[in-house]
Amino acid sequence: MKKVLFYQKDTPKHQIKLWNIKLKKWYKDFNLVDLDDPRASEAPIALLWKAPMEKISKFNNLEVIISLGQGVDHIINDINFNENISVYRIVDPYMAKSMSHWVILSVLNYIRDYEGYRKQQINKIYKSRGHLDFKKIKIGVYGIGEIGKVVAKDLNTLGFDVLGWSRAKKKFDFLKSYNNKDGFNFMIKKCDIHVCLLPLTRDTKKIFNSDIFSKMKRGVCFINAGRGEHIVEKDLISFCGNKIKLAILDVFGVEPLPKNHPFWNNKNIVIWPHVSAETNIETSAKQVAEAIKLIHSGKIPENKIDLKLGY
């Protein structure tokens, strides 16, 4: 029976058993083995999420890595990654919708001043606080790939004016799309709400910095569910409370976010613990199992990563 290495950081040991059950519903000709299993080095395929790549790199039989999520930066950006290994990712409509729900929640809480009303309730104050006119708001979505395009379309359906940015030129009927540096800067200057859903690559690391924040309108909302490394954190802090009225963050450079991090005590920052679009075993197991089956058959599955682009 062929071996498939499995490692998912910060998850209970029983998770491997659950994945094994769900995967074998679709394909049975393999056995999952844990990273610490003596047979792990035999595996030509690995299912990984934030694995210790220094240890993984010593497995000479490894030919393919499948990321247990839509992001692959935790694999290909590691200095120990072997570029001769093919990398694939999960592209799950359930995860895209989950992300869309979280972004919509964040946007609506912001424009309807949810936190303000919660504070009024605590103080037994019953009066209108007003709200932003959604017809006058431009929302910029940075990263309009498999997840971003779903988020942008759902925001458009709710009546928002949505602009989208991507590395390569794209065309959608539900948003105005932009690309290249000029397009990025145009959106930074025009939008009232900025939503980062970018993949983490050499080009997008620290893309939101003091230079970019300084070009934003005064009083914007900044939402990040891409990666923490997209932001220069000290720059974000310096602009919170003036240019940036509210920052809603689901990802951070160091996770879990350290208890002494200045984000915790900043009244202009809302912290979420990287839960905007978690991998759903039920909905993703079929495509992972089918990818394993195709690889065993010498075929190439969908969603292969272009290592030069980083996604």
pLDDT per position as a tens digit, 105-134: 999 999 999 999 999 999 999 999 988 999
Taking residues 222-243, report their average pLDDT. Answer: 98
**Which domains does the chain show, CATH number per domain?**
3-92+279-296 (3.40.50.720), 93-271 (3.40.50.720)
Catalytic residue among 255, 261, 290, 296: 255
Confidence of residue 264 (pLDDT cuts 50, 70, 90): very high
Confidence of residue 243 (pLDDT cuts 50, 70, 90): very high
- Using the predicted structure, report yes or no on whether residue 14 has a pLDDT greater than 90: no
What are all long-range contacts of 264-268, with beta carbons under 8 Å and residues at least 24 apart?
266/237, 266/240, 267/241, 268/240, 268/241, 268/244
Q: What tokens were used for 70?
A: 């839509």
Q: How many CB atoms lie within 10 A of CB 258?
A: 11
Catalytic residue among 101, 261, 274, 296: 274
pLDDT at 13: 77
Catalytic residue among 74, 167, 227, 230: 227
**Bridge partners, residue 231, by sequence:** 208
**218 labelled catalytic:** no
**274 labelled catalytic:** yes
Per-residue pLDDT tens over the stretch 167-215: 999 999 999 999 999 999 999 999 999 999 999 999 999 999 999 999 9
Taking residues 270-291, report their average pLDDT. Answer: 96
Confidence of residue 11 (pLDDT cuts 50, 70, 90): confident
**112 labelled catalytic:** no
CA–CA distance from 155 to each of 39, 51, 151, 159, 167 (Å)? 48, 34, 6, 7, 21
